[in-house]
Amino acid sequence: MGLKALLLAGICTVGLTAPALAQDDVPPTPFIVVDQFGYLPDAQKVAVIRDPETGFDDGWDFGPGATYQVIDTRTQAMVFEGKPVKWNNGAVDPSSGDRAWQFDFSAVTSPGSYVVRDVQSAYDSVAFDIAPNLYKPLLVQAVRTFFYQRAGFAKDARFAGEGWADGASHIGPGQDSEATLHSRKSDKSTRRNLSGGWYDAGDYNKYTSWTASYVVTLLGAYEDNPAAFSDDFNIPESGNGVSDLLDEVKFGLDWLVRMQDEDGGVLSIVALSHASPPSSATGHSYYGPATTSASYAAASAFAYGASVYGRDPRFADYAADLKRRAARAWAWAEAHPNATFYNNDARDKSEGIGAGQQETDGRGRAAKALTAAVYLYGLTGEAMYRDHVDSHYREAQMMREGYNLDFAYTDNAPLLDYARMPGATTSVVADIRRAFADGFELAGWGERDKDPYRAHISAYTWGSSATKSVHGSIFAEIGRLDGGKHSKSEAMEAAEGYLHYLHGVNPLGKVYLSNMKAFGAENSVDRFYHSWFAHGSSRWAA
């Protein structure tokens, strides 16, 4: 059911009492939002009741009753009763335009299926579960997103599902295996096999710096909890005895390997043609030159990859190759500190090459160098990389500006990895840990209550779901720091608020993972921008 249908359902049932309409016949109200998948037994559980005051839905009004209950959907028994509490003394939240109340039902811990009920109106929330290991299926689907983004790889129905199956893309003449330099498009001597890799987002282009960032992030998630990433995620490599996350990461790393020149420099971008479905794209593929930022970024991915894969004897040769590539990429970037390429930009006569701008400024290149030094030190233990970190870590945003926020997390987080590495300089480690925690005290902990949906971020821009995720990740990182001002349980409770936001505790009552009805979402995103599912597509456009 879409949001407008839910709103309509909520309005159409205003004034109806339980005797007039059986409870089972009342559709879930959009005014009580919960995590649509559910909650872990010991987690804090807070439903948000919303009354739209401004925005597209400001024509709808809802005032909560005095009593709320949690109802077991199997037995229809009431298992908890309480009162909703006004958020911010009844003020309207400026970011959502909603007046809000919160209903804490954390006391409910028994596994089962439940709804939150407004007793006065007889309105129910969508149903949700309480159970251990509740989010594993969601993690599986999140990781599988990368499989769908693979370029040059068939999406067989047995892995992708009948509705999303497609043949391999960009494998024709002049495409990824025969890509040419953007400035010499017709020069066959510039041909390179740059096949593989992941489409970046809604476009099919492949960017080195961003791919490297995905690799580092995924490897970090794996290291945090290897057991969570099993070998049964239903991708083509499933069942091979290797974690499916590592199989997927290797697909990205293999593309970065193809992007590296013999001298160590790493190409910056491959621009692909677009069509719906991807396999129908026929235009040529063009690449951008090696750059400082791309080379540092790839060095990070190669080094971290070598560290993780090197622990498995089956990947000994692969890890050794990645280690060599990391050192060469670093050396090239150090020797070429100002090699830039502005794609899709008149400055480099690159109009039409890519979509988003992957190039960065001098400060951005310095941040990538710092990240590369961290993972090269973790891999090799060599003093030259540790010395680079020790000499430049104060240039990081949280050290330089004294605060630690969501938009700078990818630059700050590697320093925490350095702080956990054997042999890291003790005084630098202490400084990093202090700055990370202190820099988030005001902007993170101090701002928590500014969002009635319990997921405050510093600003809303394009891709704010990612910003929400990052902000939650910072709370989780704080929870891992020993001796901080906040306990691990307090930090994880704060972090979980961001997960619940993405799962439906938000002004739209939307699950921001797409097409998740089969996994328990009543109202998940089912359309988003992507060239694959383009407007006007005969197969996917409605």
Collapsing DSSP to helix, strand or coil, 98 comes out as: strand
Q: How far apart are CA 317 and CA 72, in angstroms?
A: 55
| pLDDT of res. 480 | 87
Are 130 and 39 in contact, with CB atoms under 8 Å apart? yes
| pLDDT of res. 25 | 56
136-273+282-379: CATH architecture: Alpha/alpha barrel (1.50)
C-alpha torsion 228→511→147→222, nearest 10: -20
| pLDDT of res. 146 | 98
Q: How far apart are CA 24 and CA 250, in angstroms?
A: 49
DSSP letter for each residue of 267-313: B-EEE----SSGGG--S--EEPPB-HHHHHHHHHHHHHHHHHHTTSG
Q: What share of the chain is helix, strand, coil (3-state, %, to 5)?
A: 45, 10, 45
| pLDDT of res. 7 | 22
pLDDT digits (tens, 9 = 90+) for 411-461: 899 999 999 999 999 999 999 999 999 999 887 888 889 999 999 998 999
Q: How far apart are CA 25 and CA 27, in angstroms?
A: 6
- Sequence ranges of the domains in the chain: 3-134, 136-273+282-379
Q: How far apart are CA 511 and CA 505, in angstroms?
A: 8
Q: How far apart are CA 304 and CA 302, in angstroms?
A: 6
| pLDDT of res. 442 | 80
What are the Cα distances from residue 472, in Å, to 228, 402, 459, 491? 19, 19, 14, 9
| pLDDT of res. 425 | 98
| pLDDT of res. 144 | 97
This prediction's pTM: 0.92
Residue 232's CB is within 10 A of a number of other CB atoms, namely 10
| pLDDT of res. 282 | 97
**3-134 and 136-273+282-379 agree in CATH topology:** no
| pLDDT of res. 4 | 24
Are 502 and 138 in contact, with CB atoms under 8 Å apart? no
DSSP letter for each residue of 22-71: -GGGSPPPTTEE--SSEE-TTS--EEEEEEE-SSTTTT------S-EEEE
Superfamily per CATH, domain 3-134: Immunoglobulins (2.60.40.10)
pLDDT digits (tens, 9 = 90+) for 33-77: 999 999 999 999 999 999 999 999 999 999 999 999 999 999 999
Q: For the chain, which residues score pLDDT lower than 50?
A: 1-23
Burial string for 336-359 (b: 16+ CB within 10 Å, else e) reads: beebbbbbbeeebebeebbbeebb
| pLDDT of res. 26 | 63
